[in-house]
Amino acid sequence: MTIVKLREVAQTRAGDKGNMVNIGVFAPTPAIYQTFLKKLTPERVKEHFTGIVEGEVIRYELPNILALNFVCKEALAGGGSASLRLDNLGKCFGANLMRLELDVDDSVLAELKKMR
């Protein structure tokens, strides 16, 4: 097992609506997607955003495109003009999530390295 930052094994796309943020996480291989299913849980995402995401985190699985979608409620301190945050847009959440660290099996990383 090797600890890697999510940015080394995934891509993200994020957006916001009101006081919610949604973050799509895309795996490059089925093996990495399986790792995400086990280790990239709603609890782990909420923990990563401690002090920022105050509500529930819901995970939706999209196996046909090797993706997970996380909906983070109460994430923008009220959202839009209601927030006093300097940057209250959901787009920043994708970049922030890419700093999360995961244990990934070495054979899975070797498979990814062959693809690149």
Phi, psi of 73 (to 5 degrees): -90, 155
- Is 37 within a domain? yes
Phi, psi of 98 (to 5 degrees): -65, -15
- Is 110 within a domain? no
- Look at the alpha carbons of 20, 87, 37, 47 in this order and tell me if their dihedral is positive or negative: negative
Q: Which amino acid is at 76?
A: L
Q: 86: which 2 tokens?
A: 């300097």
The pTM (predicted TM-score) of the whole model is 0.90
- Is 6 within a domain? yes
- Domain CATH for 68: 3.30.70
In tens digits, the chain (116 residues) has pLDDT values of: 999 999 999 999 998 888 899 999 999 999 999 999 999 999 999 999 999 999 999 999 999 999 999 999 999 877 666 665 555 577 789 999 999 999 999 999 988 888 77
Q: Among residues 100, 96, 57, which one has the least CA distance to residue 75?
A: 57
The residue written with tokens 């002090």 in the block is: 51
- Is 24 within a domain? yes
